[in-house]
Amino acid sequence: MGLLENKFNDNIIVEKLDKLLSWSRSTSPWFFQFGTACCAIEMMAAAASRHDLMRIGMIPRSSPRQADVMIVAGTVTMKMALRVKKLYEQMADPKYVVAMGSCATSGGPYWQHGYHVLKGVDIVIPVDVYVPGCPPRPEALIEGLLKLQEQILEERPLTRKMA
């Protein structure tokens, strides 16, 4: 736990500070650069110059230590699931997960007969935003990431949590 995290009762100063912190968190959610399947192509397209994720403050990082958001782009096989979980564990707090594409949300086309595919990445790690599509277009991914930013904006990092 951080020194000041969730340590204060709710008042106007804490609320304003909370807003500042969550605003600064939401405007630079750097994402972890890895793709498990074909959705990664769309993720790359989203990060490339035409759609340019950098506009909303998202920079791909190749180390989980520097990443805030994990975009699970594509089919997660049973073998990969262990690695995905480990990578998620190795990311620094606060961390968020975007399940991109129908494979990562529910197993997608492998839902019924895919003996080797995890039926949704939320079985192993907590997911914040689901982006449907097979694969989703970059616009859809950006929509999902904007939703994630809205979610981060509502966070209260300093306020004591109600039991």
Q: Which one, 48 or 116, has the nearer CB to another protein?
A: 116
Cα separations in angstroms, 145 against 17, 54, 62, 79, 136: 23, 12, 19, 27, 12
User: Which of the residues 114 through 153 are near another protein (CB under 8 A)?
Assistant: none
Hey, which residues between 38 and 97 contact another protein (CB under 8 A)? 63-65, 82-84, 86-87, 89-94
Q: Please tell me the distance from the alpha carbon of residue 83 to that of residue 106, in angstroms, as a whole number.
A: 18
3 is a contact residue toward another protein (CB under 8 A) = yes
- For the CB of residue 110, give the shortest distance to another protein in the complex, in Å: 21
- Secondary structure letter of residue 119 according to DSSP: S
Of 4 and 48, nearer to another protein (C-beta) is 4
Total site size for another protein, rule CB under 8 A? 22
Secondary-structure percent of the chain, ordered helix, strand, coil, rounded to 5: 45, 15, 40
Query: What's the closest the beta carbon of residue 62 comes to another protein, in angstroms?
Result: 10
Give, in order, the Cα–Cα distances in Å from 115 to each of 32, 104, 156: 27, 15, 41
Q: Give whichever of 2 and 109 is closer to another protein, judged by the CB atom.
A: 2
Nearer to another protein, 82 or 134 (CB): 82
155/103 Cα distance (integer angstroms): 28
Question: Any idea which residue has 């930013």 for tokens?
Answer: 149
Q: Residue 107 or 157: which CB sits closer to another protein?
A: 157
Interface positions with another protein (CB under 8 A) = 1-5, 21, 63-65, 82-84, 86-87, 89-94, 157-158
